[in-house]
Structure 1
Amino acid sequence: MRVAIFDFDGTLYAKETFQLMMAHLKNHPVHNRRYRKFYRTIMPPYIGHKLKIYPEAKMRARSVQAYLAALETFSKQELEEYFGEIANLMHDDFNQEVIERLKQHVSNEDYCMLVSGAFTPLLHAVTKELPIGKIIGTEVPYEANILAHKTPVIHIQGSLKTEKILEALGDQAIDWKNSFAYGDSLSDVPVLELVGNPVAVRPEARLRMLATERNWEII
């Protein structure tokens, strides 16, 4: 079996999900009062990251946790409706060339996977019209169908993406040499290195340099 693995932010989706989520909370007609608490929580790790004294991965994980904390008291249904609102704002910013690649992989009977640090219910909402076989994202914890905002969240990023991909595929025989992976940043390299056909999509400078050195395809 061949696989085609897609990153989301900057790859399938041309922009950054978390920035849109922040703006949606800040400007929401009902829930905007929650933004101040979220903002106060994320500023220390964000400033620490900018000063290069706090790792980027930890800053991203803290931000994801803080966002859920701002939505405390949400039921599962309310949260899915909220993520649905965000999903409706995203469709015009899909990378159409990557969408066409996805559809071509489906036509070739490749198993298509989406792997992202974005929240899983948001990924399901925004890609419900796309032929994706498996979605791996940051899971939202619930207790009795209420958001468990104090439960530590496992943010899917870096090498953890690779672990989750291999876990999802289990003991299936994968033709890695003829498989594809698409990503836009240096953090996607562990996934790109899994396959024989890595593709850098609108890559950041560091990934562009690496892709050029290794003769990877660049979109």
Structure 2
Amino acid sequence: MPNIALFDLDHTLIPIDSDYEWGQFLCRVGAVDAEAFARRNADFFAQYQAGTLDPVEYLEFALGTLAQFPRQKIDELHQQFMHEVIQPALLPAAFDLLKKHQDQEDLIAIITATNRFVTAPIAQALGVSHLLAAEPELDAANNITGKLLGVPTSGAGKVIHLQNWLAKQEKQLSDFGSSHFYSDSHNDIPLLEVVTHPVATNPNARLSAHALAKGWPQIQLFDKQ
């Protein structure tokens, strides 16, 4: 039977949060009002810490920022972002872990709460062709409208997106001999609970404690930044 290996992205395969770093990059290059952006972002971070964050509201804030730019301009900005921020964060330990599953001919996918615009080039740079991410609505000219399509790819939403993606291939998780999921965050416990091999990867404190209680393996690919 084939096997499947799933990976979170931020702080799992890369030692940074690509969504946060994208916002910081836009501020740094003067593409957005840095003060207004930082204030709104701080509000969302406080909600996240309090456990009251509405993922749709946050994603539509992030996507609304993208909607301010014509597609050509935002693609140019992303190329600069990849060169300046992401490429230095692509570290050998992540490629080695991916290669282990590639050598076993496992089906490999990244599943991330960050939107597809930010993460698709990162997945490509990591050599992963399957990406499950928050989906921005596009208009007829391929510009981002600022709206989210479907449910967020966070928490239990990751399980839903995985099930839907596999269903399109006429498969379900139980069709695989083994299923791995690597994540750093307690937010991913719903998906970690349904695979056969959950792996707490560079785990935050809450996930580390949960993994210890469950007897799940814990690995460190790199130090968090």
Q: TM-score, normalised by structure 1?
A: 0.84
Count of aligned pairs between the two proteins: 212
The residue type paired with residue 74 of structure 2 is L
What runs of 5+ residues in structure 1 fail to find an aligned partner? Answer: none
Distance 1:182 1:25, change over 3 A: same
After superposition, the C-alpha distances for 1:148-183 in whole angstroms (9 at most, x for unaligned) are 12x345432101011101111112254455221100
1:216 shift after superposition: 1.2
After superposition, the C-alpha distances for 1:69-118 in whole angstroms (9 at most, x for unaligned) are 23434223332332232222112223532321111111101000100011
Distance 1:79 1:10, change over 3 A: same
User: Does structure 2 retain, via aligned residues, the 8 Å contact 1:38–1:66?
Assistant: no
2:21 match: 20
Q: TM-score, normalised by structure 2?
A: 0.82
1:70 aligned onto 2:46: no
After superposition, the C-alpha distances for 1:173-198 in whole angstroms (9 at most, x for unaligned) are 54455221100111111111222111
Distance 1:201 1:95, change over 3 A: farther
- Determine what percentage of the aligned residue pairs are the same residue: 21
137, 142, 152: which one pairs with 1:141? Answer: 137
Distance 1:47 1:110, change over 3 A: closer
Distance 1:27 1:190 in 2: 36
User: Does structure 1 retain, via aligned residues, the 8 Å contact 2:114–2:133?
Assistant: yes
Tell me the C-alpha RMSD between the 2 structures: 2.3
Distance 2:135 2:88 in 1: 25
Distance 2:76 2:152 in 1: 21
1:37 shift after superposition: 4.0
What runs of 5+ residues in structure 2 fail to find an aligned partner? Answer: 220-225
Distance 1:44 1:97, change over 3 A: closer
